[in-house]
Amino acid sequence: MANGVTAFVEDLEGAHDIGAIFDLVDTELRSRGFDRFAYLILHPPEGPHDPLYIGSYPEDWTEHYVIRDYVNIDPVMAAATATTSPFTWQELYASHPSESRPRLMLDEAGEFGLRNGMTIPVHGPARAFATFNVATSVGPVETEELWKVHKFDLHLVALNSHEKIIKTAFAETKRSPTHLSPRERECLLWTARGKTAWEISVVLSLSQDTVLHYLRSANEKLGVYSKTHAVVKAIITGLIVP
């Protein structure tokens, strides 16, 4: 698969924006049997600490994760901070008691189609820290085979994607900190609490179209593509507190 990684890296060099990077990564991973991925950089190498999420995880799961504040108990994040080596999620299942909160979180992720997969921690440059996560819909035995075949190539895909994302996203975002209007923050806050656009419109005495306008505006300011991703970024950066 070396030629495949080489071609991917060459194509990656020509990507000029986050959308193009997403498409390349998604295509590369699907060609290797991985249906979903999630890249999250929590600590950029320098400048303002402005986390960035790129991925194809189910939005229902991302929203569920944020509402329940799982970032503080996520065993994937805990393991990634403690190692530079890739690991499978099956290893995490084995290392947490069945009734522990981290294990219950893993079980819930499985209900959203995120049971079998692996994580590549990325540390550096400087103080940067990110996780590159891939998931597959096949069973645990097949996942183990995919892992054996693609482990080293996935590591290269993750490292090169991380470097390109940093150069692209943070070159684009060397700007003043994001400022959301009070209404944009309110709409994101109620979204984080599980409210629909219609329910938010009732709470705030606004039309549903106006609420959707504020949510779209917040997406643009935060540089994301969905309300769920906007909520994730707003919480991590302290713009809203659910």
Residue closest to 88 by CA, chosen among 79, 97, 96: 79
Which of residues 125, 142, 172 is at a domain's end? 172
Q: Identify whether 220 is part of a domain.
A: yes
Which of residues 172, 201, 218 is at a domain's end? 172
Domain co-membership, 165 together with 199: no
Domain co-membership, 145 together with 209: no
Q: Identify whether 159 is part of a domain.
A: yes
Contacts of 203 (CB under 8 A, 6+ apart): 190, 195
Q: Identify whether 186 is part of a domain.
A: yes
> What domain count does the chain have?
2
**pLDDT tens digits, 82-112:** 999 999 999 999 888 888 999 999 999 999 9
Domain co-membership, 97 together with 151: yes
SS3 216: helix
Domain co-membership, 147 together with 187: no
Which of residues 148, 172, 196 is at a domain's end? 172
Domain co-membership, 144 together with 186: no
Question: What's the mean pLDDT in 149-166?
Answer: 93
Q: What is the pLDDT, as a whole number, of residue 51?
A: 67
Q: Identify whether 241 is part of a domain.
A: no
φ/ψ of 132, rounded to 5, equals -120, 110
Contacts of 106 (CB under 8 A, 6+ apart): 75, 89, 92, 93, 96, 115
Measured distance CA(130)–CA(122) in Å, rounded: 5
**pLDDT tens digits, 172-210:** 544 456 789 999 999 999 998 888 999 999 999 999 999
Measured distance CA(121)–CA(21) in Å, rounded: 19
Q: Identify whether 89 is part of a domain.
A: yes
**pLDDT tens digits, 17-70:** 888 999 999 999 999 999 999 998 877 666 545 567 888 999 888 888 877 878
End-to-end Cα, the chain, rounded Å:
45
Angle, vertex CA 100, rays to CA 97 and CA 106, nearest 5: 90
Domain co-membership, 61 together with 163: yes
Q: Specify the CATH number for the domain of residue 72.
A: 3.30.450.80
Domain co-membership, 202 together with 147: no
Alpha helices in the chain (DSSP H): 2-13, 18-31, 59-67, 75-82, 89-95, 101-111, 140-172, 182-192, 197-204, 208-222, 227-236
Residues spanned by the domain of 222: 182-236
Domain co-membership, 155 together with 232: no
Domain co-membership, 161 together with 202: no
Domain co-membership, 168 together with 227: no
Domain co-membership, 42 together with 140: yes
Domain co-membership, 150 together with 220: no
